[in-house]
Amino acid sequence: MATALIVIDVQNDYFTGGKFPLWNPEAAEANCLRLIGWAKSASVPVVLVQHVVEGTPAPFFAAGSVGAEIHGLIRSVAADAPVIVKTFADSFEKTDLQATLEKMGVDRLVICGMMTHNCVTHTAISKAAEAYDVTVVGDACATVSEIIHILALHALSTRVKLIETDELITKDPQ
């Protein structure tokens, strides 16, 4: 099974000082960084996803703003990863994510990022995602509060596999 790591919306506005800081973004990012390290060591391609709001004034992720940029730590360790720019919660919706994954020959997705209840969930259970074996790494995700994070993961648990970073890194050779 060929795997890709999808890192969703780890962007500046979600961190302290940003326009929409989340609960636990630093811990989630630390685990995303560990997953990127795992992916590189296992020759698993990494795909970064970036949400951008064009046109109308945006509460956050305004096109061209520092807040919309992928967080520097993620960009530095995944500098060669393709970036899929999206405008919907579902990373497949009106993007070339599916075409990118098809070119990579991928049939399994490992998903992490932000926000657990929105873009992570909508991507994981997207109609397009039904073509893949999907795993969400719970401790590598963040959202507006701990309870919303827990509820989102619980809701996902009937549709996709859930795993924690340590388990994936130690038990999944690829």
Residue 48's domain is classified under what CATH number?
Answer: 3.40.50.850
> What range does the domain containing 108 cover?
3-171
Query: What's the CA dihedral at 51, 48, 139, 58 to 10 degrees?
Result: -10
* Beta strands at 3-8 and 46-51: parallel, antiparallel or unpaired: parallel
Residue 14: which H helix or E strand, with range?
none
Characterize 98-108 residue by residue with b for buried, 16 or more Cβ atoms within 10 angstroms of its Cβ, and e for exposed: bebbeeeebeb
- pLDDT, one tens digit for every residue, the chain (174 residues): 799 999 999 999 999 999 999 999 999 999 999 999 999 999 999 999 999 998 878 899 999 999 999 999 999 999 999 999 999 999 999 999 999 999 999 999 999 999 999 999 999 999 999 999 999 999 999 999 999 999 999 999 999 999 999 999 998 766
Claim: this prediction has a pTM higher than 0.95:
yes
Q: How many domains does the chain have?
A: 1
